[in-house]
A and B are shown apart, each in its own frame.
Chain A
């Protein structure tokens, strides 16, 4: 909420990769915005709503991609070479126990990071990177030949991390959209920029 109101000013800044910075206060409380400026403002706010609408499904898309990877893992990554062939070239993989410890550390860190972003109201679109990390865990277990024993641990970790991330992105976008709609209403009613919160 705090962030969305600051987003609008002429050109909307497109976040590149990890947008971890708080958006700076951009909107001057100019009481005398001309009507043409109000139209521009409404257009910007509408664009912002569309952008947030698109962003709100990002978490679910990441979750869907993870489910697809999980299905591939369930069938034992049929397209990958046999573990023996790969370990013959690359050497012995880390043991299943080490991978499990790293998985727990990763899950813990990812949840803490996501909850921190939720608390600070930071926009961050890194859900797909989590799919990459989780796929890495599946692959490491596969090469260790312990995927069958640890499949559900990675799956549970993925559902948890991506579930929390999806919720964070969704609530962030929902609050931003609500605020933008209120701002549009205010601009239509008064012809001026909405006041800062």
Chain B
């Protein structure tokens, strides 16, 4: 395979084109996945902000029933895996899943350690740092955002349940969005890229093969047949017509040499 003209022409082209296309697809896939992931984080952050703003008045009034209803309703939304609010001590006080209420959360778990890794917990995190991805007990991918509920003047001075103004964070909202749709889109993208790469590979190799066959291999085959016929038979055939210029020069040169040799053989005394 490697010794033939076709092999020599196709192997480097096929390898280079396929390899470069695969690298481009991998980089593109990585960029698209990164973009989608960032978009999902922004979406989850906005949703967390919306929930915090919607519940702030209920929190301020200490209206636990309204708060629980809001959390439960948001949790029933399609694509929402969980919504819960922790208090300062890490106890779940509100959750869309009633069985989670009053559960203590370990500060060393993935979503908590980001802020609680030092002696003094972090109170300000960037949007991207608030996000984490994991698989839920059903084995489905989840992207979660942990948004702190900050103390404000209206909280620390409220008549009902006063928080000390020195307490910066009152609790945490944890919202998780299912990644099932995103994973499905990425899987589709992967399949489309693989099909696109294979189609490009087939087109490239097919195109190069067709052009080589039409412009190089068939004329070469004609020339070879002509040379073999000229050496085997007694009579000298005319060079084949419609050869590419380079091969035509070779065929005519060969014809002249053979013709002169035959002429010399027939008339030994005649000088060239």
Q: A: which residues have CB within 8 A of B? A: 96-97, 100, 103-104, 107-108, 111, 114-115, 118, 149-150, 152-153, 156-157, 159-161, 163-164, 167-168, 171
Question: Which residues on the B side are within 8 Å of A118 (C-beta)?
Answer: 12
B188 part of interface (Cβ distance < 8 Å) = no
In the bound complex, how far is the Cα of B20 from the Cα of A159, in angstroms? 10
Asked, given contacts A100-B27, A153-B27, whether A159 binds B19 with beta carbons under 8 Å apart, the answer is yes
In the complex formed, the residue of A with least CB distance to B13 is A115
Task: Report whether B26 and A153 are in contact in the complex, using a CB–CB cutoff of 8 Å.
Answer: yes
SS of A interface (majority): helix
In the complex formed, the residue of B with least CB distance to A160 is B19
Within 8 A of A (CB), among B30-52: 30-31, 33-34
B68 part of interface (Cβ distance < 8 Å) = no
In the complex formed, the residue of B with least CB distance to A155 is B26
Q: B: which residues have CB within 8 A of A? A: 2, 8, 11-12, 15-16, 18-20, 22-24, 26-27, 30-31, 33-34
Task: Report whether A156 and B22 are in contact in the complex, using a CB–CB cutoff of 8 Å.
Answer: yes
In the complex formed, the residue of B with least CB distance to A148 is B30
In the bound complex, how far is the Cα of B18 from the Cα of A159, in angstroms? 11
Nearest first, the 6 A-B pairs at minimum CB distance are: A160-B19, A153-B26, A156-B23, A100-B27, A157-B23, A111-B16
Task: Report whether A164 and B16 are in contact in the complex, using a CB–CB cutoff of 8 Å.
Answer: yes
Task: Report whether A163 and B19 are in contact in the complex, using a CB–CB cutoff of 8 Å.
Answer: yes
The listed residue (B8, B11, B20) touching A111 by CB distance below 8 A is: B20
Asked, given contacts A103-B23, A156-B22, A156-B23, whether A163 binds B34 with beta carbons under 8 Å apart, the answer is no
- CB A160 to nearest CB in B, in angstroms, measures 2
In the bound complex, how far is the Cα of B24 from the Cα of A150, in angstroms? 11
Task: Report whether B27 and A150 are in contact in the complex, using a CB–CB cutoff of 8 Å.
Answer: yes
The listed residue (A96, A107, A164) touching B23 by CB distance below 8 A is: A107
SS of B interface (majority): helix
In the complex formed, the residue of B with least CB distance to A153 is B26
Task: Report whether A107 and B30 are in contact in the complex, using a CB–CB cutoff of 8 Å.
Answer: no
In the bound complex, how far is the Cα of B31 from the Cα of A30, in angstroms? 63
In the bound complex, how far is the Cα of B30 from the Cα of A103, in angstroms? 13
Question: Which residues on the A side are within 8 Å of B15 (C-beta)?
Answer: 160, 163-164, 167
Question: Which residues on the A side are within 8 Å of B11 (C-beta)?
Answer: 167
In the complex formed, the residue of A with least CB distance to B33 is A149
In the bound complex, how far is the Cα of B31 from the Cα of A100, in angstroms? 9
In the complex formed, the residue of B with least CB distance to A103 is B27
Task: Report whether A156 and B12 are in contact in the complex, using a CB–CB cutoff of 8 Å.
Answer: no
- CB B126 to nearest CB in A, in angstroms, measures 14
In the complex formed, the residue of A with least CB distance to B30 is A149
In the bound complex, how far is the Cα of B23 from the Cα of A164, in angstroms? 14
Task: Report whether A150 and B23 are in contact in the complex, using a CB–CB cutoff of 8 Å.
Answer: no
Task: Report whether A153 and B12 are in contact in the complex, using a CB–CB cutoff of 8 Å.
Answer: no
Task: Report whether B20 and A160 are in contact in the complex, using a CB–CB cutoff of 8 Å.
Answer: yes
In the bound complex, how far is the Cα of B20 from the Cα of A114, in angstroms? 13
In the bound complex, how far is the Cα of B23 from the Cα of A91, in angstroms? 28
Task: Report whether A168 and B12 are in contact in the complex, using a CB–CB cutoff of 8 Å.
Answer: yes
In the bound complex, how far is the Cα of B13 from the Cα of A114, in angstroms? 11
In the bound complex, how far is the Cα of B30 from the Cα of A115, in angstroms? 28
- CB A139 to nearest CB in B, in angstroms, measures 17
In the bound complex, how far is the Cα of B33 from the Cα of A107, in angstroms? 22
* 25 residue pairs from A and B, CB less than 8 Å apart: A97-B34, A104-B23, A104-B24, A104-B27, A107-B19, A107-B23, A108-B20, A111-B20, A114-B16, A149-B30, A149-B33, A150-B26, A153-B26, A153-B27, A156-B23, A156-B26, A157-B23, A159-B19, A160-B18, A160-B19, A160-B20, A163-B19, A164-B12, A164-B19, A171-B8
